Structure 1
Amino acid sequence: MKCFAPALASACALAAGAALALLAGCASTQVGAQWSDPSFRGQSLRGARLLVVCEAPDPATQRICQDELAARVQDLGATPVQAPDGAARAPAAEQLLAAARVAGARAVFSASVQPDATIVNPGPTFSFGIGGFNSGGYGSGTSGGVGVTVPTGGQVSTGYAANGMLTDVASGRMMWTAKATTPPQANLNAQLAELAKAVVGAAQQAGLF
């Protein structure tokens, strides 16, 4: 997109932002691959205590993810117990199961959140021109104008994915797992809320709540 006056740069930026919002609006949070162990079918976790834990690239994302996951689990009638700091980074799942046993939890609801897709909007540009001139006298001639195009900045948006998993504490077996993805957007908090809603909703549809 080119704007041919500096005064129109803000209008171009608004138009580009609207196009990006429209692109994000056309997509939605999706649950992709999903698997459940048939032997746990019909064993609802409603009313049970669940250890809730998230693994994420940074502490802020991890905390937000864990809070959102706990809130969604509570909405379905279970009692969430948040895992101690660093539990999601344990080299083996046994540490999580041990923490779940101490908390009296029946299952562990874990989620791993990672960046999934990134789009770069190059942003609008504006152009201005230097008009032609005419020189008189010997060797006189006419020169055309010179146009200059200047970028006004861009925007990077990242979509995230969450791999959710329910693990039975008594047996240590995986009960269910699913992957959800969000379209790229600037609001990470909103994406984490949507991912938590999607993975917990998928577990409910699988008959585990």
Structure 2
Amino acid sequence: MKRLTFALTGMALLAACSTISVTNQWKDPTWHGQPASSVLVVGVARSDTMRRLFEDAFSRELGAAGIRATPSYSSIPPGEDGSARLGDLVKSTGSEAVLATRVQRVEDRINVSPGPYAGGFYGWYGGAWAAAPEVTQTTLVTLETSVWDARSDRLVWTVTTRGVANSDIPKATDELAKTLIPKLKADGILR
């Protein structure tokens, strides 16, 4: 049930990662287009609030990096019906690229550690029976962020990231953006 709750609140997990690390990265080796200076930001989520928080925060970080960014929620409704309007929004905003992020996987990890060691075999043996183990649970979120070149309608860059879930979406999105934007610039995807 807990896993289902996380899946249904996808954007909360989408943006709610701390200590983000890149786990996989791909760039189309045949793409030789120009780096984008304007980006449409799309957060795929069931929760409109979480989507708005994510798109606003990521757009703000792109703006701070000198990239004109437009959140998609202003013109595209949540859900599958929005795909029909996506092309129109890309054209009307003059976006050269579309950056889309979605939750790929949520994992609950449970770690059980033995109780404290009391020294020597007899202390260990007695402590092994008496000490309760320490149990910790961590929720890991894997995100997939893809960039499409709007001029050629091609997927040109994609990355998966992993982080520990938390509830401060704007802060976690800022961390995600600060992790990805330098990579996007270094790979020639963004100007």
Asked if TM exceeds 0.5, the reply is yes
AA of the residue aligned to 2:157: W
1:159 has 2:149 as partner: no
Structure 1 residues 84 and 63: CA distance shift in structure 2, 3 A: closer
Structure 1 residues 171 and 44: CA distance shift in structure 2, 3 A: closer
Segments of structure 1 that go 5 or more residues without pairing to the other structure are: 1-26, 123-153
2:39 alignment partner in structure 1: 50
1:64 maps to which of 53, 63, 84? 53
Structure 2: distance between partners of 1:37 and 1:64: 30
1:179 alignment partner in structure 2: 160
2:92 maps to which of 83, 87, 102? 102
Query: Is contact 2:46-2:79 (8 Å) kept?
Result: no
Identity of aligned residues (%): 21
2:69 alignment partner in structure 1: 80
Structure 2: distance between partners of 1:206 and 1:88: 30
AA of the residue aligned to 2:187: A
AA of the residue aligned to 2:166: A
Deviation at 1:116, TM superposition (A): 2.3
Aligned partner of residue 73 in structure 2, secondary structure? coil
Structure 2: distance between partners of 1:72 and 1:58: 21
Structure 1 residues 98 and 208: CA distance shift in structure 2, 3 A: same
1:127 alignment partner in structure 2: none
> For 1:142-153, what aligned pairs fall within 5 Å after superposition?
none
Determine which structure has greater relative contact order: mean sequence separation of CA pairs < 8 Å that are 6+ residues apart, divided by chain length.
2
Segments of structure 2 that go 5 or more residues without pairing to the other structure are: 1-17, 113-134
2:80 maps to which of 90, 98, 110? 90
After superposition, the C-alpha distances for 1:1-50 in whole angstroms (9 at most, x for unaligned) are xxxxxxxxxxxxxxxxxxxxxxxxxx9411122111234446222xx221
Structure 1 residues 60 and 115: CA distance shift in structure 2, 3 A: farther
After superposition, the C-alpha distances for 1:124-166 in whole angstroms (9 at most, x for unaligned) are xxxxxxxxxxxxxxxxxxxxxxxxxxxxxx8754332221111
Structure 1 residues 194 and 37: CA distance shift in structure 2, 3 A: same
- Normalised to the residue count of structure 2, the TM-score between the two structures is 0.64
Deviation at 1:100, TM superposition (A): 0.6
> For 1:8-23, what aligned pairs fall within 5 Å after superposition?
none
Aligned partner of residue 166 in structure 2, secondary structure? coil
Query: Is contact 1:54-1:113 (8 Å) kept?
Result: no
Deviation at 1:178, TM superposition (A): 0.9
Supply the RMSD in Å over aligned alpha carbons.
Answer: 3.6
Query: Is contact 1:106-1:169 (8 Å) kept?
Result: yes
1:116 maps to which of 106, 114, 117? 106
Query: Is contact 1:51-1:107 (8 Å) kept?
Result: yes
- Normalised to the residue count of structure 1, the TM-score between the two structures is 0.59
Higher helix share: 2
